[in-house]
A and B are shown apart, each in its own frame.
Chain A
């Protein structure tokens, strides 16, 4: 009944009620849409980071200094395949370690050619990077031991060289050396840095070192720790082991660097979290502005309806009844605005993902939060006008013109 009274009072001034609600509608819609954009960005970053590999650590060669000149990272060639083997065998926190070496080369099929990155590694490489196969499989340990000419190719390379044809069993030439395609990787899409991860050819490290590049070092070791919790321990163990193996005395610069990708992932996630929070709080400001709009209109309404308040008091309404009536009017306004705002927010999130192609995730939590918040705003900003109405003197109110 009391809601009916409020509804009727608001319906009497439809235009004004709608305009008042608009503040809340926009506020709630903004919160929901902004949080959806933020959450979408976060999810995208997470999936990109997951595509690098799980519990991943990377060891890169360090820099050399000759006569005071820093040659930059990667300029030393002290990192070897044996380092990778030692890391995998000797360290308890490490599940797998795959050495890798990379070059850019022209890859030629029967009637197409494509310039791409060629990576040499061990069969463990695919496990370290959580990479599965669309068809075929990895080259084997014996391929690796025998420096066989077997190649695994990414989706982009397959499309450019073979179109829709099945690449398995086909021959490709890398710097005139023929390789048989044994596996097609499932697509991973863009990396966090925007590179096409599927534009790649992976061959046994031994083959790349001996037949193509003529080197013995490796450029990186990719390491998968046993669990996310063990990445920090693994980092320390790797450092200690490599110090030992490379005979680096204390206080001297390392000739390698260990990077914990989990840390990078956590940092990226944290920054996207902050962005969501920031967007959400900016949107919340508009919600508060909407609340002030409600207070404004309720104050006008109380003044306008002074006589009505007097009549109600004369026929037996207690202050509490009047307070409740105006409070409920404010809450009905803000709640109705909240519901419409949720609808508008969800709709605009959809529009953003359809037309601007930003990923958006509408979380139930942000909808609930916005709804509860809008009710709270109704109560908070409705209380003052309602108290004002309830504290009116009935005689004065009845005399009011």
Chain B
């Protein structure tokens, strides 16, 4: 696979508020091949969130080129970008962002709904995705009946139900305790082994250790970009009890 999944050349994002121009991204270039596990780090205001929004086709760059899976998505219209979000990108958020008063399976079905599949196919695919994140027996639970970790798993199931090549996770462990965070990272690593490219934005250096590549942003530019040859295996950490704060067990729902 010669073509990278993400190819960014001299990307700028400038916000205009009245007279003041604010550059959130200042000429970022980046190439991410298929199957990478990338952690994006950096302080608040470093431009990493803006980067994620552009990568996820929620936002458009002011200048520069962005090729996603070989398609120049920088110049696409809103409907085409919606289609890219539906097919190519799965989002995982810090606050889970599940629809409340809506069952787990219906939450997972949401992206398929906008692809226009029939009800039966939808339920089958959504069920499959829930099995994959280990929540096959929680299909008809509502978000408020699930623990934080379980809610994030539902969100991950929703992100992967369309089998996108890319999952973007914005602080996915920000609302979770350490053990649950590692469990979520284990799940991401598992999905990554199946070939899905994962990009995780995080503040926590601990979480970044599970990534194979760590990109650090500062003031709208990439400050460092390093590959980690021996990154941590979350599953191993869990099974060997390497967590120092192992008392923080996941609360049972």
Contact = CB atoms under 8 A, between A and B. Distances in A.
A295 interface: no
A316 B85 contact: yes
Nearest to B117: A1
A315 B79 contact: no
Contacts of A46: none
Contacts, number: 57
Contacts of A315: 85-86, 91, 110-111, 114, 158
A240 interface: no
Nearest to B102: A8
A315 B81 CA distance: 11
Contact of B114 (A308, A316, A398): A316
Size category of the A interface is 20 to 34
A8 B99 CA distance: 12
A395 B93 CA distance: 12
Contacts of A394: 58
Contacts of B111: 315-316
A321 interface: yes
A319 B78 contact: yes
A313 interface: yes
Interface string B117-157: 00100000000000000000000000000000000000000
A350 to B, nearest CB: 40
A395 B82 contact: no
Size category of the B interface is 20 to 34
A314 B58 contact: yes
Interface in B70-102: 78-79, 82-83, 85-87, 91, 93, 97-99, 101-102
Given A1-B113, A315-B110, A394-B58, A308 B85 contact: no
A398 to B, nearest CB: 7
A276 B86 CA distance: 54
B225 interface: no
A247 interface: no
Nearest to A313: B82
A268 B58 CA distance: 67
Given A1-B113, A307-B97, A316 B83 contact: yes
A311 interface: yes
Contacts of A395: 53, 58-59
B85 A314 contact: yes
Contacts of A1: 113, 119
A317 interface: yes
A89 interface: no
A322 to B, nearest CB: 10
Interface in B162-194: 162
Interface of B: 53, 56, 58-59, 78-79, 82-83, 85-87, 91, 93, 97-99, 101-102, 110-111, 113-115, 119, 158, 162
16 contacts: A1-B113, A8-B102, A308-B99, A311-B98, A312-B110, A313-B82, A313-B85, A314-B97, A316-B83, A317-B82, A318-B82, A319-B82, A394-B58, A395-B59, A398-B93, A398-B97
Interface of A: 1, 8, 12, 307-308, 310-321, 394-395, 398
In the A-B complex, the 8 residue pairs with the closest CB atoms: A316-B86, A315-B111, A318-B82, A316-B114, A316-B85, A318-B79, A394-B58, A311-B97
